[in-house]
Amino acid sequence: MADSSGDWCTIESDPGIFTSLIESFGVKNVELTELWSLDDDSLKTLTAPIEGVDNTAVHGLIFLFKWQRQSSSATASLEGRGTPLTGDAVPEGLFFAQQTVQNACATQAILSVLFNARDAIVAQEKSGESKDEGDDNGRRLVLGQTLSNFKDFTCHFPPDLRGEAIGSSDEIRKAHNSFGRSEDAFLSDPTKPKRTATDDDDVFHFIAYVPHEDGCVYELDGLQKGPIQVGEFKKDEADKDQWIKVARDAIQARLSNYSPTEIKFNLMAIVQDRRTYLNERLRALAAVGIEENDSAMVHIQSELHAEEEKRAQWALENARRHHNYLPFCVELLRSLAGCGEMEGLMTKAKTRAAEKRKRQQKS
């Protein structure tokens, strides 16, 4: 642990970033995927993504929305979301942490889902080995050594101390910050204090929705005093997406508080790594004698290849985010100035900027 005063940067709401972030903690068998619609068919694809595969794991939802000062105070009940549970009212085994450091809400929402994942496989404190190696063909989340130790360390902490522990964790903060963009080199004066958001700025916030073994779905918002129960679901083995529909209704209730023209939202699900059930499907087809050149096998293999390409693209994009482009930009500007093109380019840029301002004023 370290001093919680260390800065946390903002990170993009992107499934590739968040998947790489949790994998850097040693988490396995999960990835994040974006949801573009809340209709029943879209939700069904989370638990039954391809033919022949159903009951895939959905551990929780991550919702990004524009924060509204009047609705993010302790007035959740006024919006029909229920009252935050505190003390003995919090269900046993439900992990909730209050947010105590700025810009940590994305990682905190993700951790809220991971720490509440049902049947998660945790690592032994000293050996690093999992207590139960049976991951049910990837349906069980493997928490990894770092997060297993953290969960064990904070399991008896109250929500505010859990938040302080997250903010004070060097491992978690460094992993979070490694996915931030290096924009300050161009936009900020390092000798001056960092600019803070004002009432005129758009400020965004992440929260999580998770199912619990008590048959209820909870909204986990680090800005609240405790978890908020948003509904109940039947733990039906034949309909694993029931809890998702409950969470969907809660999200739609939130959306109803915004203008119909507001579109700055993002919803992601923490789901089973797609590669695990594709490989499971390949093994099942091979077990019944389907040959590799069969169309069903070829289709699954192409899907698996697409997943590997997706992961490679994520890695490339993350490498670009980490790269320091400042030396290149300085050298480019120096070269343009040296060959006498800088002044002409600056004039063109100023002209375009003036034209853009005129168009904006007219509209």
User: C-alpha angle with apex 34: 297 to 52, nearest 5 degrees?
Assistant: 25
Question: How far is it, in rounded angstroms, from Cα 12 to Cα 113?
Answer: 18
Taking every pair of Cα atoms in the chain, the longest distance, rounded to a whole number of angstroms, is 72
Which of the following is catalytic: 105, 176, 212, 216? 105
Amino acid at 63: F
Is 171:50 a contact under the CB 8 Å cutoff?
no
Nearest to residue 43, comparing CAs of 252, 232, 204, 231? 252
Distance between CA 63 and CA 264 in Å, rounded? 11
Residues with Cβ within 8 Å of 42's Cβ and at least 6 positions away in sequence, in order, are 35, 36
CA distances (Å), origin 221, targets 66, 227, 246, 352:
14, 7, 17, 43
- Helices assigned H by DSSP within the chain: 15-24, 40-47, 105-115, 144-154, 159-168, 170-177, 184-187, 242-255, 274-287, 295-322, 326-338, 342-362
As a whole number of Å, the CA-based R_g of the chain is 23
> What gap in Å lies between CA 298 and CA 285, rounded to an integer?
11
314 three-state secondary structure: helix
105 is catalytic: yes
Residue tagged active-site, from 59, 176, 205, 212: 205
Could you say which DSSP state residue 53 is in? B
Count CA within 13 A, CB hemisphere, residue 144.
14
At 226 the three-state DSSP class reads coil
Which residues are designated catalytic?
Answer: 105, 205
